[in-house]
């Protein structure tokens, strides 16, 4: 048996969202990843965020490439269409799908191999187009399905399970995205659900390309002593810099936050995220200084996490640049698209 459907029995006391759906309604097939895999925690966080936002399941489109991470699109929101494409090419599928129907919610799940090696070009260009999607990288520094080769996110000095040391500098998705002009860039840790869930909510609401790079240890091939992407190492070296709380449209901001320390950011639909600075030196609204601080900390072996850059509404997303109508292109009537026989006759005059 290679496919396990999850039984859908919901206890009557399970909490329901505004659509009357429980968290179970946002789950998918049973995961076939290794027990303890960081990716499964991210899947759980996506389920939680989708439920909390009360997304219509059929309006969620799940996209992925190839690899352990890319399998996970089958494990959440079974009521939404999924597309597990080819290695490193998920962004182009997302671009085409989004071009056809801008009204749906696009969640792409990728890995560090899928994004930073074979898919680096498509990743960069999706950012340049400001494609309206949430792009999650489940980053474990290693190729799992092919048994433990370094990925392009492996840190200098990190050791493979078989003993080899990596000397090539890593490609950091967060710094890269900032350089390319992304307007929503976050980093998190699969083991920190409190941080991750509101980031996913905010990323889903962001108008344009939202990147969340999630450190997600590989329990089988990269969780040993000497690895810089193990659970133990990550717990010790990840440093929350900016916490983001997501405040849905219908809820008022309560006085949990002390003035001066928080920054509310209004999203496209009127919902808000409230940023709480945990690191005084860090400004998540300044691309230049933010990148400098991230790099300094990186030199010291620390991963800054949280919503590291947000410029809500500062850039136009693909459809606004292209000038497409608000209604999806795939819903336009044929009559609105095909100019008809008389128009063709007029065109031909030029070729006589």
Partner 1 sequence: MPQSTATRVNDFTIKIATVNGTGSASANTLLMKSIFRSGIPVMGKNYFPSNIQGLPTWYEIRITRDGYVARSGQVDIMVAMNAETYARDVREVAAGGYLVYDSTWPRPALLKREDITALGVPLAQLCNESFNGVRTRILMKNICYVGVLAALLDLDLERIRELLAETYAKKPQLVESNMKAIQLGYDYARGAFACPLPLRVEKMANTAGHIMIDGNTAAALGCVFAGATVAAWYPITPSTSLMDAFKMFSDRMRVDPASGRKNFAFIQAEDELAAIGMVIGAMWNGARAFTATSGPGISLMNEFLGLAYYAEVPAVIFDIQRVGPSTGMPTRTQQGDLMECAYASHGDTRHVCLYPANAEECFYMAVQAFDLAERLQTPVMVLSDLDIGMNDWMCRDLKWDDNYRPDRGKVLGKAEVLELKKFYRFLDLDDDGIPYRTLPGVHPKAAYFTRGSGHTQYGAYTEDSAEYQVVLDRLLRKWATAKRLVPRAVIDATAGAATGIVSVGSCDGAIREAIDVLKRRGIGVDYMRVRSFPFSEDVERFLAAHELLFVVEQNRDAQLRSLLALETAVEKSKLRSLLHYSGLPISSAFIVEGVLAELEPRQLATAQGVKGGRSG
Q: Which residues bind partner 1 (CB under 8 A)?
A: 2-3, 5, 57-59, 61, 73-74, 78-86, 89, 91-101, 103-104, 121-122, 124-125, 129, 319, 322-326, 329-330, 332, 334, 336-341, 343-344, 347-348, 351-352
Assess contact for 31 and 43: CB atoms under 8 A: yes
Q: Measured from the CB atom, is 119 or 217 closer to partner 1?
A: 119
- Pick from 303, 242, 305: nearest CA to 273: 242
CB of 31: closest distance to partner 1 in angstroms? 12
* Ramachandran angles phi, psi of 86, nearest 5°: -110, 170
Q: Measured from the CB atom, is 256 or 351 closer to partner 1?
A: 351
Distances (CA, A) of 183 to 13, 208, 210, 218, 244: 40, 7, 7, 29, 15
DSSP states along 78-97: TTS-EEE-STT-HHHHHHHH
CB of 253: closest distance to partner 1 in angstroms? 32
CB of 83: closest distance to partner 1 in angstroms? 5
SS3 351: helix
CB of 66: closest distance to partner 1 in angstroms? 8
Q: Measured from the CB atom, is 65 or 284 closer to partner 1?
A: 65
Q: Measured from the CB atom, is 82 or 141 closer to partner 1?
A: 82
Q: Measured from the CB atom, is 59 or 315 closer to partner 1?
A: 59
Using a 10 angstrom Cβ sphere, with 0-12 exposed, 13-18 middle and 19 or more buried, the burial of residue 117 is: middle
What are the beta bridge partners of residue 264? 274
Query: Token digits for 11?
Result: 């206890």
Assess contact for 37 and 219: CB atoms under 8 A: yes
Q: Measured from the CB atom, is 149 or 324 closer to partner 1?
A: 324
Q: Measured from the CB atom, is 91 or 284 closer to partner 1?
A: 91
CB of 37: closest distance to partner 1 in angstroms? 17
Q: Measured from the CB atom, is 255 or 341 closer to partner 1?
A: 341
CB atoms within 10 A of CB 261: 11
CB of 275: closest distance to partner 1 in angstroms? 32
What are the beta bridge partners of residue 185? 211, 309
SS3 310: strand
CB of 333: closest distance to partner 1 in angstroms? 9
C-alpha span between 282 and 264 (Å, rounded): 16
Assess contact for 84 and 64: CB atoms under 8 A: yes
- Pick from 167, 163, 145, 136: nearest CA to 154: 167
CB of 72: closest distance to partner 1 in angstroms? 12
């Amino acid at each position: 048996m290679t496919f396990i459907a999850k039984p859908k029995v919901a206890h009557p006391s399970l909490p329901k969202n505004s659509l009357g759906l429980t968290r179970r309604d946002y789950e998918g097939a049973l995961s076939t990843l290794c027990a303890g895999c960081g990716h499964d925690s991210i899947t759980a966080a996506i389920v939680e965020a989708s439920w909390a936002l009360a997304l219509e399941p059929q309006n969620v489109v799940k996209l992925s490439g190839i690899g352990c991470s890319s399998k996970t699109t089958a494990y959440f929101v079974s009521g939404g269409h999924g597309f597990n494409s080819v290695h490193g090419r998920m962004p182009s599928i997302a671009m085409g799908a989004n071009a056809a129907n801008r009204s749906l919610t696009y969640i792409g799940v990728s890995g560090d191999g899928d994004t930073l090696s074979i898919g680096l070009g498509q990743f960069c260009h999706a950012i340049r187009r400001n494609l309206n999607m949430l792009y999650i990288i489940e980053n474990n520094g290693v190729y799992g399905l092919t048994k433990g080769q370094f990925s392009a996110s492996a840190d200098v000095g990190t050791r493979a399970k078989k003993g080899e040391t990596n000397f090539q500098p890593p490609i950091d998705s967060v710094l890269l995205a900032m350089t390319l002009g992304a307007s929503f860039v976050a980093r998190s840790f699969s083991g920190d659900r409190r941080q991750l869930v509101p980031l996913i909510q905010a990323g889903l609401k962001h108008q344009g390309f939202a990147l969340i790079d999630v450190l997600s240890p590989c329990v089988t091939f990269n969780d040993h002593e000497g690895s810089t992407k193990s659970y133990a190492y990550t717990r010790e070296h990840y440093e929350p810099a900016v916490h983001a709380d997501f405040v849905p449209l219908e809820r008022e901001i309560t006085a949990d936050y002390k003035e001066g320390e928080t920054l509310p950011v209004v999203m496209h639909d009127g919902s808000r995220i409230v940023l709480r600075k945990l690191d005084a030196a860090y400004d998540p609204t300044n691309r230049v200084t933010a990148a400098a601080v991230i790099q300094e900390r990186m030199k010291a072996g620390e991963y800054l996490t949280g919503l590291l850059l947000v410029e809500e509404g500062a850039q136009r997303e693909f459809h606004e640049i292209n000038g497409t109508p608000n209604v999806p292109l795939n819903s336009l009537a044929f009559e609105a698209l095909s100019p008809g026989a008389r128009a063709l006759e007029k065109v031909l005059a030029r070729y006589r």
